[in-house]
Amino acid sequence: MGSGIAGMFARAGCHVRLVDLSDALLDRAIARLRLGQEALVEAGLLLPRDAHLSMERVITTTDLAEACDGSDFLLEAVTEDLALKQELFAAFDGLCPRETVLATNTSGLSVTAIARATGRPDRVGGMHFWNPPHLVPLVEVIRADTTSDDTAERLKAVALRLNRKPIMVRRDIPGFVGNRLQFAVMREALHLLREGVASAEDIDTAMTAGPGLRYSFMGPLRTADLGGLDVFRAISSYLFASLSVDREAPETLHALVEAGKLGAKSGSGFYRYSDADLGRFIRRRDRILLKLTEVLEAEEDVKDG
């Protein structure tokens, strides 16, 4: 995530310092950044010259003080560990100029708790990018309880400069908006799999060939409007009572994790992945996302025109 986000800032004309724990990790980050750039060039969304110039704007370092020195804006993208993020934000607060805005790319942790680790909680907010960040346009701008109006608007302006689609999350709740929607679907998918209603493949197909297809351009509330709120109320009256109300991750998920089946990164999860298969799937995913983005942006241009 960090390298993909750094690439977006660089392509927007910003000078970027990308910081990590070791030169080896930074080399991997730059390699991923280059792959993302190549995908954009191949899709005709980035000129080769602009790709080259943007790479020149990225400096790597393992020195946190060097990364923070004189910065206008800092975005953190470490693992989802609240204590670690709080420790880092306390360090950022001491190393960055007082006017620097600090943002966290957490997927759902308390931005308020992170902000309170600093002496500038009014200048801290959340910017949740979605993976892969150079292809998925959504950015959730999260207001901590302490985030000032000016900081929130600055974070939104940053997302717009990166040509992303920001939404303002007005309350700092776990999971924000996107992950609450995603995990509501995930909970029901796991329930259907556990109950033997359908296979993993068929559950995924039900989403990709059905609601997922239209959700790319209209969300659940617009879908309800077009389907008729009276119809959706009628369906809700009998369906809500039978939906999963699990309060914890189900045994199906626990069993896979305990067996070391962590998904693509371990070679198996709900599906099996060889290195070749995974590479082909990721390239296919990226091609589809790029084409879909191109179509949706063209539709936006028609609407605005």
For 207-245, the pLDDT digits (tens) are 999 999 999 889 999 999 999 999 999 999 999 999 999
Report the pLDDT value the prediction gives residue 66, as an integer from 0 to 100: 95
Nearest to 9 by CA among 151, 105, 88: 105
Q: What percent of the chain has pLDDT over 90?
A: 84
One-letter identity of residue 247? R
Active site residue 179: yes
Query: Which of 71, 76, 134, 140 is the catalytic position?
Result: 140
Residue 17 has pLDDT above 80, yes or no: yes
8 Å CB contact between 100 and 74: yes
Query: Which of 3, 71, 105, 107 is the catalytic position?
Result: 107
Mean pLDDT of 21-27: 95
Cis peptide before 132 (omega within 30 of 0): yes
Q: φ and ψ at 196, to 5 degrees?
A: 70, 20
Mean pLDDT of 248-275: 94
User: Residue 25 to residues 28, 62, 239, 264: CA-CA distances in angstroms?
Assistant: 5, 10, 48, 20
Query: Which of 179, 188, 191, 268 is the catalytic position?
Result: 179
Residue 305 has pLDDT above 70, yes or no: no
8 Å CB contact between 160 and 166: yes
Helices (H), the chain: 2-11, 23-42, 48-56, 64-68, 82-95, 111-115, 149-161, 178-194, 200-208, 211-215, 220-227, 229-239, 251-258, 275-304
Residue 300 has pLDDT above 80, yes or no: no
8 Å CB contact between 152 and 168: yes
Angstrom distance (rounded) from CA 289 to CA 105: 21
Active site residue 140: yes
> Is the pLDDT higher at 213 or at 305?
213
Report the pLDDT value the prediction gives residue 183, as an integer from 0 to 100: 96
- The mean-pLDDT minimum among 42-46, 236-240, 266-270 falls in 42-46
Number of Cβ within 10 Å of residue 127's Cβ equals 26
8 Å CB contact between 58 and 10: yes
- The mean-pLDDT minimum among 67-76, 119-128, 278-287 falls in 278-287
- pLDDT tens digit sequence for 78-135: 999 999 999 999 999 999 999 999 999 999 999 999 999 999 999 999 999 999 998 8
Report the pLDDT value the prediction gives residue 297, as an integer from 0 to 100: 80
| DSSP helix/strand/coil, 104 | strand
Indicate the angle between helix axes 229-239 and 220-227, nearest 10 degrees.
Answer: 110
Residue 282 pLDDT class (50, 70, 90 cuts): confident
Angstrom distance (rounded) from CA 171 to CA 143: 6
Residue 39 pLDDT class (50, 70, 90 cuts): confident
8 Å CB contact between 39 and 284: no
Query: Which of 3, 105, 128, 134 is the catalytic position?
Result: 128
